[in-house]
Amino acid sequence: MKVRLTDVANKAGFSVSTISRALRGEGRISEENRKKIFATAHELGYPLPSGNREFPDDFPTYIALIFQFRSGEFYSSLFDGFEKAAENKAVKIGLFSINEQLDTVPSVIEQVRLMGFKAAVLFAPGLSEQHYQYILHTTQQDFPIISCSNINETVLDTVTFDAYQGATLVAKHFHNQGFKKLGIIEGPIEMPESRFRTNGFLDYLTHIGEGTLCWRFRGDYSTDSGISAFEDFLSTNEKPEAIFSANDAMAVGFIEAAKRNGIEIPDDVAISGYDNLPICESHFPSITSVDTNYIRLAENAIDYLLTKLEKPSVHQGIVSMVPVSLKVRGSTQNMKK
């Protein structure tokens, strides 16, 4: 529903005429009241006029998070990281979900700019290189954007996790544990970070580790595909001793299906996930997983945007990789050798 001036007036406790003058930068209105009016307009999503408008002194910097949002622990953990980072960096954030409407991203960017947001973080794994090129050429140069998604050919400057490194950490852990027969539950092939995770795992096996890949299954990052992976695992003749799941949801699905069928984790088969979501620690057995520090990712992204606001510059397709680590837990410990 469209937000009207009367909505802002009712929320802020001022007359419509006072709200209108404040937003236009006219009239004799105290800085305290102007700040309250602007903050209320931001909160309700009222489109603020752009151009030469002057914001009140010490008015906070608002950054839009434009996410291809899904339900589940991954996105809630990602948003929680940005919320904590924003508090650390003394900025304000707003979340905008684009869901499947990827072609509308440029118009969403323009809308949040007109609402008074100063910059945006874009996390939309489904965007193609062509989408990014269009965003690059249609966004105002004084409105900095940073992407947090991996793509094959980087267009926008990007801050993201080192997906390749995380997968090699899992392969190295399996190597140190003495496992020879290994398996992998891969993510969607159309998603670059999924391919990077697969490549990191397989490259370590090929060039460094002594194990061999005897089983692989293509999943879609859902718990249900983890269950399907287990069903495929049961039907294979040569079963792996340890499995790398390209995300935690598929690992959880596999483990739950295994438990229902009398397969012990980790005694019969070990498994590691990726993303270190809260369920990894609370699940039984607890799940080994690649730890992605969402607060650090968000702080790096916000620092980039604040620097761009002070000194605007063109995108160079620079990729900044945030290091990851491996949290070893029960799902890969105390195994039979």
Domain residues of the chain, as ranges?
A: 5-44, 62-161+294-322, 163-292+325-332
CA 236 distance to own-chain centroid: 34
What confidence score (pLDDT) does residue 100 get?
67
Count of residues for the chain? 337
pLDDT tens-digit profile of 207-218? 987 889 999 999
Distance CA 195, CA 296 (A): 23
Distance CA 126, CA 193 (A): 11
pLDDT tens-digit profile of 174-200? 999 999 999 999 999 988 999 999 999
What confidence score (pLDDT) does residue 131 get?
86
* Topology match between the domains 62-161+294-322 and 163-292+325-332: yes
CATH superfamily of 62-161+294-322: Response regulator (3.40.50.2300)
Full-model pTM: 0.80
What confidence score (pLDDT) does residue 337 get?
44
Residues of the chain with pLDDT under 70: 1, 25-27, 31, 48-59, 100, 334-337
Distance CA 336, CA 239 (A): 14
- Candidates 3.30.930.10, 3.40.50.2300, 3.40.50.720, 3.40.190.10; CATH matching 163-292+325-332: 3.40.50.2300
What confidence score (pLDDT) does residue 1 get?
64
